[in-house]
Structure formats: C-alpha cells, structure tokens
Structure 1
Amino acid sequence: MDIKIRPMVKSDIDKVMEIEYLSFSVPWSFESFVMEVTKNSCAHYIVAEVDGQIAGYGGFWVVVDEGHITNIAVHPDFRGQGVGSAIVEGLIELAKNKGITSMTLEVRESNLVAQSLYKKYGFKPVGKRRGYYQDNNEDAVIMWKYDM
C-alpha cells in the first residue's frame, strides 16, 4: 500500500472529523482542528493518504524542545495496514526537523495496540495520569521518547 504523508490543511478537516468520531468517544470539535491548523503556531498536524483518500492523521505541539503528541487516529477501514506506523514515523521526522529532542504522549491504559505501536518507535511508559479520560475515568499511560 502506498501511504503518502503530508501537512494537514483546513480543507482536510471534514474527513478528519469523520475519523475522529469513529475513533474517540470524546472527539475534538471541528473548531478545535481549525484552530490547530490555522492559528496555533505550536501545532503541527499531518494526514496519511491512501489512493487520494485521507486514511488517518496525527499531530503534536511544540513545547520548548519537546513534542507533545495530541492525537493520532486511523480510519477503521485502514487499520492494521501500516497507516498508524506511517503517521508515527511522519510525526517523528517532522519533530526532528523542528529541532525537537524528545516526544511524549498519553494513551489509554486499555489501548494495548497503540502502546505496542509507540513502543516500536522507542516510546517508553514512564507513568500514569489517574482518571485522565473523562468518558470513563480510565487512566492514561504517559510515554516518552528521548532518543530522537
């Protein structure tokens, strides 16, 4: 499968919202993505395209010399086909190009598939945020990647 990674633009947000609603019980709003893509100079978002169709997206915020991954999601039709890996690789590469020296993220404690993906790219669990997810009070695993 040929997966193309490119910067997210405002016209991508309708498709991104579809993936967001299919992926998260508490999705971000359309307006939040518009702000991230058009106004937040610390935010950097990418999309993964397969045959011209947006199959997933991800983003991070730059905080001094760290990258905080805000979200990564893959459309259910494209899961298990390398799209998530391509997004993580794209975010790491973009972060390196921005001078980022480490990256962090939170992931649901129950989301072992995502944790495994992040570990594949050198993220290590370092702690928990108790009751982090507002929909069910689930804990988040805090993961860091220091070897950029």
Structure 2
Amino acid sequence: MPDIFVADYSNPNHGQAIVELLDHYARDPMGGGMPLSSFTREHLIQELLKRPFAFSVLCLVDGQPAALANCLEGFSTFACKPLINIHDVVVNESFRGQSLCRKLFEKVEQVAREKGCCKITLEVVEGNRVAQAAYRKFGFSGFELDEQLGNALFWEKKL
C-alpha cells in the first residue's frame, strides 16, 4: 500500500527522497536526459523551505521513494483565486503501473481544494503520450479560451 503525503521539507528523509526522485526524472528523456546539477542537489530543499507557496506530494512504497509531484501555488487574476501548478511529476520506473500518478493527483487536488483554488495546471511535453493519457484520465486537457483560437502554448525565456 503506498503512503502518499505532503512532504515536510525540514525532514531530511523527505528531502532526500524528493531529490532522488527529481534526479530520476531529470535523467529520463522526458525530463531532459541529464542528471540534476550538484548545485540543485545541494540547495533544492533549503530553497523550497523558503517558499511558503511550494509543496511536494511524496509517495513511498514499502518505505522506498516511488513518486513525486512538486507543486507551486500561483494566482488566477481572472478568477481572483489561487491555483496550483504541478511543476514536476515523476513515478520511478520501478513503480510504474500501480496508479501512483492518479494517487498523487488526488492528494494535490485535496490540497488545492483546501486552499480554495480555482484550478490545477501542469505542463507536458508534446511527445509524452503516456503522461498525457494519465493526465487526461484525471480530467486534465489542453487549455483554450476559444476553440477557434486553439490551445495555449507554454513558452519560456531562459535567464
């Protein structure tokens, strides 16, 4: 039975599990195919601790880190309510096929409802069909204001 909970960034075991899972994701082609930098590995948890709008949902199976959702609270100006962006989703390949993604999302949704959020957002790589299928099962879809204008695109400018 998986243990799914909001991680405590001040708990060293939770911090280690978060970094381990995020590194697993980073090494996957869908996460960029490169390990986390030593800087990120060393500083991530202390930086998350500084951000009251960040939380991580952690899943342990038999005490082993199995899945993770890193989340950041944002704000919808149109709805004038908070929103939750799931920034990272990872299920360790050793634990895939156990519906852990769905269970992570259920916990994220519980937290979002408790915070009075209007929506949950996430980004997914266009070629990651497996993740897209999992997200659709949970009710996610492409964002569009008007069918004729199409889906919103997620862009970035690196600094």
Which TM-score bucket, shorter chain as reference?
0.7 to 0.9
Contact 2:19 2:44 in 1 (8 A): no
Q: Could you tell me which residue of structure 1 aligns to residue 147 of structure 2? A: none
Bigger radius of gyration among the two:
2
Q: Could you tell me which residue of structure 1 aligns to residue 50 of structure 2? A: 39
> Helix, strand or coil: the match of 2:97?
coil
Q: Is the counterpart of residue 121 in structure 1 residue 138 in structure 2? A: yes
> Helix, strand or coil: the match of 1:91?
helix
Aligned residue pairs: how many?
Answer: 131
By how many angstroms is 1:59 displaced?
2.3
Q: Could you tell me which residue of structure 2 aligns to residue 52 of structure 1? A: 63
Contact 1:13 1:34 in 2 (8 A): no
RMSD of Structure 2 on Structure 1 (CA): 2.1
Length-normalised TM-score, structure 1: 0.78
Any unmatched runs of 5+ in structure 1? 135-148
Q: Could you tell me which residue of structure 1 aligns to residue 6 of structure 2? A: 7
Length-normalised TM-score, structure 2: 0.73
Q: Could you tell me which residue of structure 1 aligns to residue 126 of structure 2? A: 109
Contact 1:59 1:91 in 2 (8 A): no
1:9-64 C-alpha deviation (Å, 9 max, x unpaired): 2312222222222222354723223312x110111211011112221111221113
Q: Could you tell me which residue of structure 1 aligns to residue 23 of structure 2? A: 21
1: CA distance, partners of 2:72 / 2:18: 18
**Structure in which a larger fraction of residues adopt strand:** 1
